[in-house]
Every structure is written in C-alpha cells, then in structure tokens.
Structure 1
Amino acid sequence: MTDDRLKIAFSPCPNDTFVFDAWAHGRVPGAPALDVAFADIDVTNGMAERGEFDVLKVSYAVLPWVLEEYALLPCGGALGRGCGPLVLTREAGADLTGKTVAVPSERSTAYLLFRLWAADVLPGGVGEVRVMPFDRIMPAVRDGEVDAGLVIHEARFTYQNYGLHKLADMGEHWEATTGLPIPLGAIIAKRSLGGARLRELAEAARTSVRMAWDEPEASRPYVAAHAQEMDPAVADQHIALYVNEFSADLGEDGYAAVRGLLERAAAEGLVPPLGRDALDFPG
C-alpha cells in the first residue's frame, strides 16, 4: 500500500459497494487509488466530526457540524423518492405520544425526518428516544423493549418478517410537505485536498456510478461479499432504490432537498444553522 492512497470509509450496504466497486478496484481511468474501510453510517458520521479519513460517506444530517473541514461532493451519495425511513410498531395505528422510540442515530437524516414528522403529527411529542444499532431495532420493537422503531436500509423490505406494522413513512411525509427528494447519504472529502483534487474525486465517483450501471454484473461479487448475508433479491431492490440519477449528480432538486432538510431542522433547533455557501462545491 502506498502513501498516496486516499483513505475512504463507506458502509457495506449494497448501494455503497455498487457505487464504489469500479473505483475501489482500480477500474476508473485516472482515478486516485483508494484505501477502503467499511463502517456503518453512524460510525462514519463520528469519523467526520473528528476529521478522520480523506473521503467519507455520511448522513446529510451531520453536514452542519463538518462542512468547515469537508466539502460536499455533488455525486456518489443517496437521495431519492419513495425511499424514506419507516416508523414501525407492534400494533397497527399505535399512538406514539409519550412513548419510547428506538432510532439508529441522533445524527442521521432518518432522525431529522422523524423529528420533523413528529412535530407535525404528534402535538404531545414522543417520550424517550433511545439510540441502538439499526439491526437491533426491529427485534426490540417485536419483543416490547421499545414502543416503536425508526428503521432504515433493507428493513424497508423485511419488517413484515418480524410481525411489525408500518405506522408512518418519513419519506412520504417529507415528499408530501416539500415536493423534494429525500436526502439520505452524502459523500464528503477534505477541503485541504484542494479544489483540483476535489473535482478529480467528484469525477471519479461519477464515473464509478456510471460504470456500475453500464456493467451491473461486474459489481455483484463485491456487493455480495459485504451484504451481511442479505438475500440477493433484497440487495438488488436496495440498489435500485438508493442508486439513481442523484447518485450521478445532485442537480438543482438534490441541492434544494439538502438545503431544505437542514434549514427546517435548524428551525426546529435540531442542527446548527447552515452557512450561506456551505454546500458550494469548489470550482
């Protein structure tokens, strides 16, 4: 391993391994070599806050704390429609007022969307919010450890296996109230790399996405190796849902969604206010 490799961390989820497969394996012409580490997004959020790694996949919700040191890349991340986090309960139509809700992180887009939803539909507010690893949330709801759970990732496709009910879809609420796509995961890179290098990284990420679309079979071994025993059909659903046109380019709607989420969250006191130029990409 050479010292000029860029240190990158992203999740082992199928959408990330699909997006980064070509780049991670040296198939993107002219792209810098990568030293890849895998970590769930709550871990990479913490890495970003501590200034670790050159490039990270993080939640959009953590951006207000890290944009002084990191720049948002305009590609490689996850936004979309019909892909929001879900609130699950044991009983259909449960009232969550004053109840305990498990969430995967308090520095996540899922959590911000949940709090914005709760502010609109639960005037009495929820009770305790309990943070736990996302793979423990559905069993905790099923077993009565908590009253409800906020779930992400492939749980959208598997919650019925736990006998649970969808109380609300945070993405549906967001889209209905804003008309914008749902901002989930962002790719950020250290500003200290310099504008030219950042533009190079953005182009490498964009090319890696397009190569994955052009040759989906090429990424299948990488996706399967890190999918944590996920059913291949579920992995394909996961990729189809989270890797879309916004992964190649945030575009006007993507940037509007990110700014809209963070401005609404700041108005609720959930995150610090975003600087006027904080989302601007160098160059």
Structure 2
Amino acid sequence: MSSTGIQEYLDVPYGSVSSEDVYHQFDIFTPQARDKGSPSPLICFVHGGAWRSEDKSYHRSLARRLVMSTHYPVAVPNYRLTPSTPTEDDHLYHPAHAEDILQFLHFIQTWRGPESTPIYDASRLYLLGHSCGAHILTSIFLDSSGVTASLTPSPTLSDAVRGIGLSEGIYDLNRLLQSYPGYREWFIESAFGKRDDFSPFSTTALPLRDGSLHMKWLVLHSKGDTLVDEVQASLMYEHLTSLYQARDLPVDVHVAKNWDELHEEHNDLLRGDKYVELISKFVMGPASAA
C-alpha cells in the first residue's frame, strides 16, 4: 500500500504464461480510497521504445500521476521486445508485440482483480499508446485483418474501448523513413523485416472496424519532439477524420488533436504535467460517464 493514497499491484501475470515471464506481466495502480458504488473505468498505457526497449517499470510515476488526476485505475503492461541485435535464431517481428497487447486487453476483460474483487469496470476502457505503442493500438483497433488477422479484437473488447489517446505515434513507416532514413537499420528492419516497402504495416491506410465506430480518438504531438516528426500525427489525424466523414459520423465528436500545448522531447513529455492534464480531460469527458 502506498503512502500516496494509491494501491499498487506489480508484476501481475496475464494470459496462460509463467508468472516468471516478465514480458507477460502488468502493473496496476488504483486509488486507495475507491468510490463506493460502480467501479471506475480503467486506463491502460502501452509504452514505446521502438519495439525493442523499455519496460512497464519506467512508467510507474506516470501511472501514479494519472491515478491522482483522474481517480481511475491505471494498468501498464509489458510485451515481448525485438532483440537489440537480432539473429536468424533470435528475432521477433510485428505483429508479435501487438499480439501480446491484445492478449493483455482480452485478459483484463475477465480478470477478477488481485483479491478476486473487481477494481475497475471492464466495460469501460481508455487506451493510451506512446510512440510505437500508438502503432500497436492502431494496428489492433483499426482494421488490419487483411494484413494481420491475429490482431482482431473480440466484439466485447471493441465495445469496451471508449477512447484511444495516441502520443508521438509512429503510423506511416515509409514516411517515417523519409524523415529519418537511419531508422531503417536502427529498428524498423529489426521489427518488420528487411523489405523495400513497409506500406502494408502503415496504419494510416487501415479502415475502421465496424465494432469500433463509437470510439473517440485523441492525437497528441509535442513541438519539442526530435525523434518523431509532426507529419506522423498529421497523417493519422487526417486519416481518422476521413474515415469518420466517410461513415457520416461527426468528426468533432470522434477525433481530436493537440500538437500545440506539448513542448517537451519525445519521452520527456510523459514526465510533465501537461500530458497528464490533456489525457485526464480526454478520459473524464462525457463519454466516461456513459
């Protein structure tokens, strides 16, 4: 039990894996004094790290600050990572990382909580994806079934996701390599394989899933980010806007953007107050009470 008024459950295994498998564990943080009555929605943060680095433990401070700001539980999962120096016998390609996150999201739909008492409302989820975590979430909740059928969420999961917040996201891999050619050798080929064209994995080409039409999206980008350019955020925002327009759904209800109020570097923004403020406003809007 934390002195900050937050209950912490660390290294919780998800799925049918060994409890010692650190890549299939998550941390969950809840307000120590939970509201009586119906449980709160759950916020899930999917970390970045170019598909090859970082750990859920890096984001415990962020999770605590989100709990304090929203009074909602926050979960942060791990997932398998591509080796820093892949070999023929030791590699991990997309969609394996996203498959792990989908497994985690399905798991929390039925998990009874650490003490067999539900600590969140599994029918109300808000998902946050940072950097490659944004690519992971858009690969799942936009319709990638023509490329990666294994990333299809269950109808129950799709219904539960009320909103998805994306920050410093990677979406269009070919366009990313135009801006940062060195990323090909650094991490793109390691995560997606050696190829001339990465467009099959660019989520800016994916349609909406029929079961996801109710979702709300927030696309964030920082003016201070030197690792991923604003073009990525602009392409995803324009793509989402066109998708909802094509369905005759109100764009201003379903898609929002903000790349004027964040000014920190790529990962530094997660340690600042503005990101927490923007996400809190997003998840605590009218949809959170629906």
Bin for the TM-score computed over the shorter chain: under 0.3
- Give the TM-score, by structure 1 length: 0.28
Question: Could you say which structure has the higher helix fraction?
Answer: 1
With structure 2 as the length reference, what TM-score do the two structures score?
0.27
